[in-house]
A and B are shown apart, each in its own frame.
Chain A
């Protein structure tokens, strides 16, 4: 499903190469749930952005379903992302002033889809994420947990196989984090591939994870098969 080969990412600062990611190799099978651990600044977000094609690696490649993501031109990459990858962000990233239902529709819109079909799909996704009762609320009227479940709905509305989460519970209390995790579990049981960057210990208790990968100083420290 996801294969990462010799991935490097560096920034040049004063002519000095500053490696954020240094020779990452990782492969994730379809339906697996992988936890990316690491201290703040270790490069988790950077790795996820490169997997999602939101950022370009300095060298190396990411292959998803046989496609070298980092090599795709924008038009294809965007389509690929819309269809195959759902992203859940640390700070929710819902569009302000737009209600949850419409926010959930956004990934479908670029795909020239009819309005009714888009609304139906969005409502379904909201049901899966246990948040359909807030479909008509705008983000400022929602709690952090509700926003994050809305973000899950948006991430899965286009029925992607790969879902990336970047510190999804960082802004949630324990109760909401557990609700979020139960939504994740549903996705897992649907056969979705999950990659979750987090340093929230709550994920230690996760009963369906396959791998815990620790990043430190730009390298993968050790991988534990759960």
Chain B
């Protein structure tokens, strides 16, 4: 084994940190997927009729659809009848504030480094904590509501702000959009809802922390973010799951709606359990994220750091409908061991003078496969539009794979698209250079990888950025060639 392979091996063999689970009483739906389950979920959530019907329609559609097979993923057969579609920690009564949340749950999140007690929180971040299928609480709600900002669980939004939910739900990602969005529309259980009123600049980061705890369950949450005219919000999403030998399904939908002059920054640090060294277990992550720059001069920016999951299938996209609107996609996707990722973005230019930027950094190690898939579409009337795409792949070792699938359609002459792609390996020279300065192998790899991903990492809010850098190093611990 060469020196590099040895470093590679050590660096890639780090254990997953959030692999524990907690036993608390749960209210879980029976295993299986059928109309009764859809009705049961809706009933448990005390939903209005229109929403139940919306679900049922999605479900009847879902039954007619087939799993997508165009990705560069090897997806084992998933038995959708073998999953419980609803699991919630049992509540004693309706909660009025975070102080009433079961201390066990609060402890669970504290173990993850997320404090739900407001006095302990960094004052710059409000959190909605979602465990399995339900939100267990949202911090700083009162403070935000003084500004007219609504930040709550999806279920609560359905109850308290039905007109907003009804108006926007499914408008960016129609339930029929794809197999997984359709499944989600039928069985989604909770998620976060956020509305920023006209002209308001949200003073703190809003964040949702997703945790899958129960076994044999899937997590199907929805997030809906509405930024009204001239508003601004930065939104964060984090996720972890216990180590389990069986695969668990996570099929989420995120919709963002940006009105005129509004700006939404959406950042994700995805750290679902990736499975063990031999590829056993791990989360299947099939997520549909899409935002629409509805009004003129609006902007949506996606930043994602994807380190976890056994399989990642995810393409956060922007529909640039408003003139002069801007869509951005910054991504670092790290795969190790037997992980597979097929991720990228779609930028659909509809308005005039629209701009999009895609920076994708793939890092593959072990026996993993890492694909970038992107689609830039500039329609005829989107005059003077611009896209810049840069897709880089970094290989650690020679048993992994990196692939790039850029699709570009431009339907007018005044628009311009630039695409750059590179594939490189961490050089032995680079490592030796670091070693020679007294930096050990582990830190050398961390330094090089973080340097490589810097353009993306610097897009993250400060607190997340530090965490993400650590995570990159942890995920890759043991790997270079």
A and B are partners in one complex rather than unrelated chains: no
Give the B-binding residues of A (Cβ under 8 A).
none
